[in-house]
Structure 1
Amino acid sequence: MEDALYGEKGFFVRRESGPGDHFRTSVHASGLFAVAIARIVERVDAALGRPERLDVVDVGAGRGELLTALLALLPDDLAGRVRAVAVERAGRPDGPASRIEWRGEVPDGITGLLVATEWLDNVPLDVIETDGDGRPRKVLVDRETGVETLGGAADPAEVFWAGRWWPGPGRIEIGATRDAAWAGAVDRVRRGAALCVDYGHRSAERPPFGTLTGYRDGRQVPPVPDGSCDVTAHVAMDSVAAAAGGPYRLVRQREALRALGVDGARPPLALASTDPAGYLRALSTAGAAAELIATGGLGDHWWLWHPIGVDLPPF
């Protein structure tokens, strides 16, 4: 998975296409998502006493779409104080504003907001499965065909993680790498907040057959790890939250966005007769909001919020 996504010919390091060409995230679905994040940036700024420099770090930044939108949406005074940092293992693409820093790793000493939208689902992981005798064994995958076989016994560390976070027989996606990645990112925030937005599950709702899959050109495809498609798996959100430590809140995206004013409510029909153009604009906005909060879709994503060094309600 590491090589298929981030190797020399990996899916996320190729320059001919970006993630938005293959799958639809909240960032790509509607500008209303950036509007909501901008409101959070303003709240973080106020809680920190409006510092001379406010860091806004986007981990798994794709082509810098979210940061570009935020710089355009924020008030001029605040936008002028923002240090915008895109963290992405692929090289800097054409397009993002020159003032957006492009880095391969999360910077240290962040004062502000760290946000990661659908990053952890692409942090590589291993998969184990219990065999007919109930023994946990490694799942091995042919790089070219995607055909799976059961290999040797699972490592003790994998068995330990599974026993804590994914007990029981079946197929288990070992989330320890995601735990370490998120804990490491949160640890880089000196004061402010960290926000993870991703699809995932909690202990009581673990999928017995796992979630590993692939995406290419907007379609779900077999997760063949040859670099031709995104290889992704849902995130064990409760494990990730616990790994980062400290206070946190975990809510569905629909709940968070509604609290931030994105509710998908249709405009009153009477507006159509008094202001037809305004009605159509409001209707379009409502449709975009509805996609972001939809049950069974983007609205099911989880928002994991960690305040760090400040008393900062989430939304």
Structure 2
Amino acid sequence: MLSWRKAAEHALYGPEGFYRRERPRDHFRTSVHVSPLFAGAFARLLLDVDAQLGSPPVLDLIDMGAGCGSLLRGVLAALPGDVRGRVNAVAVEVAERPAEDGLTWATGLPERITGLVMANEWLDNVPVDVVEDGRLVLVAPDGTEAPGPVPEAADLAWLARWWPSGERAEIGRPRDLAWADLLGRLDAGVAVAADYAHTVATRRPTLMGYRDGGTVPPVPDGRCDITAHVALDACAVPGEETVLTTQRDALRLLGVAAGRPPRELATTDPRSYLRALSRTGEAAELTDPRGLGAFGWLMQSKGGVSLKSYGDAVSGAME
């Protein structure tokens, strides 16, 4: 038996792991698959970063856990040609890379980054340990659990700070370290983590599995995705400009609105009306406060790029 972190690491990313064999889009639907409006929002954010950086000759666009590269392609398609020509688009993914698709594929982050890093539903797949009654939970490949040793001191300190109550908890420190490594490589620009998340006030155990479009028990046998909500408030690196809000607020600031098109357009231009109506439905799904709109967005900037306009405009922090 292994700790949940080690078991999930092997089940997801080992030689026969879920992400080595499966295409995520075959098992679950993310904001990327809902609408091109999602990629368009990131394109607008990249244009803001580019303007604040003075249009550098090379502008990095990094997609963490890129899957099949759909988000990266969507952002590139939404950019003006003069900006697109300066973009260094890198898809970071552990799975086998698609051939001849025009993207640069990598298994890890570049050493230095100037531009925008997108981590859409990436941190939730950084495996975490589970603790119950003060001891690590061990798990077998069939999902059988047993009590293990006491967590190490750094994990106990994380729990005391970020998970103040409850008999069972998920130790999010590996996500903090992964995000800190990412932000440490960003010389100038913005990094965004968009994920289902919770705050210190709403912590609860969330370990779950996904397969074939539905939830299943989180069994670390390589046949399902294993995920847990992200403590984005803990991930935020101190000392950097930070906005922590909901996807609903973030996308509204980036131009994704769910307003209905004018009715007279149905008469004067029916095709445009139907397209606008479709976009309205997609925007509503992306910003639904009971669904994707409740996702957390952690935005941090470096190198003179400011998030003040976003921080001033959001209605409130993620709850």
Q: Which amino acid counterpart does residue 45 of structure 1 have in structure 2?
A: D
Tell me if 1:222 matches 2:227: no
Superposed displacement of residue 151, structure 1: 2.2
Cα pair 1:179 1:244 within 8 Å, conserved: no
Matches within 5 A, 1:44-193: 44-94=49-99, 97-98=101-102, 100-130=103-133, 136-143=134-141, 145-193=142-190
Cα pair 2:241 2:306 within 8 Å, conserved: no
State the Cα deviation string for residues 15-51 of structure 1 (Å, max 9, x = none).
xx31111111111111100010000111111111001
Partner of 1:300: 294
Distance 2:47 2:305 in 1: 15
Q: Structure 2: where are the runs of 5+ without partners?
A: 1-7, 311-319
Distance 1:216 1:274 in 2: 45
Identify the match of residue 255 of structure 2 among 261, 275, 296.
Answer: 261
Distance 1:245 1:13 in 2: 36
Alignment TM-score, normalising by the size of structure 2? 0.91
SS of the residue 1:296 aligns to: coil
Partner of 1:133: none
State the Cα deviation string for residues 113-156 of structure 1 (Å, max 9, x = none).
111000000001100011xxxxx01111121x212222232332
Partner of 2:245: 251
Tell me if 1:6 matches 2:6: no
Distance 2:251 2:117 in 1: 18
State the Cα deviation string for residues 248-282 of structure 1 (Å, max 9, x = none).
11010000111111111111223222222221111
Identify the match of residue 207 of structure 2 among 204, 212, 237.
Answer: 212
Distance 1:211 1:169 in 2: 12
Q: Which amino acid counterpart does residue 174 of structure 2 have in structure 1?
A: T
Distance 1:68 1:262 in 2: 19
SS of the residue 2:241 aligns to: coil
Superposed displacement of residue 94, structure 1: 4.3
Q: Which amino acid counterpart does residue 159 of structure 2 have in structure 1?
A: A
Distance change >3 Å, CA 33–CA 77, structure 1 → 2 = same
Cα pair 1:186 1:244 within 8 Å, conserved: no
Partner of 2:285: 291
CA RMSD of aligned residues (A): 1.3
Q: Which amino acid counterpart does residue 112 of structure 2 have in structure 1?
A: G
Q: Structure 1: where are the runs of 5+ without partners?
A: 131-135
Q: Which amino acid counterpart does residue 40 of structure 1 have in structure 2?
A: L
Cα pair 1:121 1:233 within 8 Å, conserved: yes
Distance 1:13 1:311 in 2: 36
Q: Which amino acid counterpart does residue 273 of structure 1 have in structure 2?
A: T
Identity of aligned residues (%): 53
Q: Which amino acid counterpart does residue 238 of structure 1 have in structure 2?
A: D
Runs of 4+ deviating beyond 4 Å: none
Cα pair 2:120 2:193 within 8 Å, conserved: yes
Distance 2:238 2:29 in 1: 27
Moved more, 49-58 or 273-282: 273-282
SS of the residue 2:96 aligns to: coil
Distance change >3 Å, CA 223–CA 140, structure 1 → 2 = same
Alignment TM-score, normalising by the size of structure 1? 0.93
Q: Which amino acid counterpart does residue 140 of structure 2 have in structure 1?
A: D
Alignment length, in residue pairs? 302
Cα pair 1:183 1:244 within 8 Å, conserved: no
Identify the match of residue 37 of structure 1 among 37, 42, 47.
Answer: 42
Distance 2:244 2:157 in 1: 24
